[in-house]
Structure 1
Amino acid sequence: MLFRIRPNSDAPIFAQIADSVRTESCAGRLAPGDRLPPAREVAAALEVNMHTVLRAYQDLRDEGLVELRRGRGAVITAAADRLRSLDRDIRALTAKAATLHISPETLSALVKEASHVPE
């Protein structure tokens, strides 16, 4: 599992770590039952505080993507399959946006706005 953080990003590091797990799940590189590395190892590898990693893991637990088990650590749940089912739709949407010369930032803003508008 490769965690990606961008030090110059406005997004908090814990959110970037959680986003890496979501991305890996969506792409099918993480499946239900897979274990995430221990928070201590991730923190050491990324040179961040262990509590930053734990916050990411807790956020993922709160949304149901991971289950935190004493003695086993963070384990990916069946929610990973639901994320993976979105992958084709996401790729089609980003491809269409690219053909329309819509930047990823604009597309992201449009998706966020659409999620707040009642139908």
Structure 2
Amino acid sequence: DAGTDAGACAYLDLDLWISDCGSGHAYVRRWTDTGSAGCPDYYTVGSARYATLADALSMNGCDPDCLRAAAMSVTLLRCGVRTGYITYRDPEMDCDELLETPDGLYGSVAEWNTAHPCP
């Protein structure tokens, strides 16, 4: 349970990655306490909590070599509306980059446009 010590610790999700997992793309987060040494870091995939990154990845069938982190934010006009996306990239380029859009995760702007064409 991700909230087990929520009353005693002030956690912040310091790192956010997107990995390729058995169920598709999944968000992997590292949580760290902002002030107490007695509150250990932990990782989550969904609402499940894990003591180590390796456990979080293996228990969810995630590729340990594919951890995309936010690399760039883009703002644009699409269909006459201001919107944008965040590009997530694996630093070692072990997997393709992903775009996090308001409509979901896509491999490219073209893929996003195909899935959600302008009216």
**What TM-score do the two structures reach when normalised by structure 2?**
0.29
Q: 1 or 2, which has the higher helix percentage?
A: 1
| Higher CA-based Rg | 2
Q: 1 or 2, which has the higher strand percentage?
A: 2
**What TM-score do the two structures reach when normalised by structure 1?**
0.29
